[in-house]
Structure 1
Amino acid sequence: MAAQGGRNSAGRTGATEPAAAPAPGLQGRRILFGVTGSIAAFKAAGWVRCLANEEARVTVVMTRAAEQFISRLTFGALSGNRVHGDMFANDPEGIMAHITLSREADCVLIAPATAQTIARLAHGLADDLLSAAVLAADIPVVLCPAMNTNMLHHPATRDNLDRLREIGYTVIAPASGSLACGEVGAGRMPEWDLVRETLLALFADQDLAGRRILITAGPTREPLDPVRYLSNRS
């Protein structure tokens, strides 16, 4: 599969991604970053750091399973923002978190996206904060599947990914290599550079949406009368 339009102990990231150099492409972009229950959650911490280094505004939502691999404190420190996870957290202002989170973001990035989360989204379930926020979102959604090779290639998972592509989600193909389970095959998180390029392409499409663009391949002429006209040299 190709990109389409497609645990360490708590408190330690173990991330190896290099810090990204500041670039205007992601500066100020609001990313709702979903982290689900996979050993690859430690790599997501490195991606959050890269986004923060580019001055993107990152809000992290963790599933309960994700918190078994890495702590909220880690993502809070790296993003500089509050980390969300409790669907029924008491809010003195009465804010509906899943609605607010989706309305205050330009894009949803779920990395790692487990087979469980993929199935939940494909079938429209909203039984945790992350899935409810995605279901309420009217913005691009990018998934980075990460799991065992057999799980990835299981017909149910493949059908779920196809369904999500059909409704407009972007699925970035997992990389191949050594997996945490000791096997070798597809199922690793992709490299950050590919994810970054995907986000930039999505935002470029958003920036051009609704604009009227004139493309010319030479000079144009606008008649003033039967004899005279206005022209340009381009």
Structure 2
Amino acid sequence: MKNILLGISGSISAYKAADLTSQLVKLGHNVDVVMTKNSTKFITPLTLQSLSKNPVHVDVMEERSPEKINHIELAKQTDLFLIAPASANILAKLANGIADDMLSTVALAIQPNVPKFIAPAMNTHMYQNVMTQRNIATLNEVGYQEIVPREALLACGDFGRGALATIEDILKIIQPALSNE
């Protein structure tokens, strides 16, 4: 069993994190969920808490135990870090070392040897934007592996690359990192 830290950022694809969480738990992993405040507009923390059987973390200033700093403790116990969906906003924050919410703060505390994955999901023009591509390249350089989005008809009505990879593809891509002992 691995300790997976699943980050969810503000994207219409956030609802797919429920299935991803459920599948990871069914595979026998412990899943802790960290959400941006914007992601809670798309899916509730209660849904993910029910599926993961763990508290969901949204507010970096909410410390549940006075002897431990929440984002540091989460990072220390993480065997695999996955952000799905990863919005353009969270990619920009991570690529530039900005830590202004629970997800970006815990991301900076993840140890360098922990496998890290980002699964972008956004409008095709946002995904193809030179700044977004630069941010993804920067994240790749520091150890994040991109799970490339699919080409599809997007929620906004545009067709192109930007749809979250399928849950099956995400699981297939992270599986080797989950198998390493």
TM-score tier by shorter-chain length is over 0.9
Q: State the distance in 2 between where 1:105 and 1:180 align.
A: 32
The yes-or-no answer on 1:118 pairing with 2:91 is yes
Q: State the distance in 2 between where 1:197 and 1:171 align.
A: 13
1:215-230 matched pairs, under 5 angstroms: none
Map of 2:108 onto structure 1: 135
SS for the counterpart of 1:187 is strand
CA contact (8 A) 2:84 2:118 kept: yes
1:1-234 matched pairs, under 5 angstroms: 28-138=1-111, 139-204=114-179, 206-207=180-181
4+ long deviations beyond 6 Å? none
**How big is each residue's C-alpha offset from its partner over 1:127-170, in whole Å with a ceiling of 9 and x where there is no partner?**
11111111111111100000000000000000000010011101
CA contact (8 A) 2:63 2:69 kept: no
Greater RCO, 1 or 2 (C-alpha within 8 Å, sep 6+): 2
- C-alpha displacement of 1:203: 3.2
- C-alpha displacement of 1:59: 0.4
Percent identical pairs in the alignment equals: 38
Give the TM-score normalised by the residue count of structure 1. 0.74
**How big is each residue's C-alpha offset from its partner over 1:95-135, in whole Å with a ceiling of 9 and x where there is no partner?**
21111001111011100000000000000111111111111
Q: State the distance in 2 between where 1:48 and 1:162 align.
A: 27
Which amino acid in 1 is paired with 2:67? Answer: G
- C-alpha displacement of 1:76: 0.4
- C-alpha displacement of 1:193: 2.0
User: Structure 2 stretches of 5 or more lacking a match?
Assistant: none
Provide the aligned C-alpha RMSD in A: 1.1
Give the TM-score normalised by the residue count of structure 2. 0.95
Q: Comparing both structures, which one devotes a greater share of its residues to helix?
A: 2
Q: State the distance in 1 between where 2:18 and 2:63 align.
A: 26
- C-alpha displacement of 1:68: 1.0
Structure with higher Rg: it is: 1
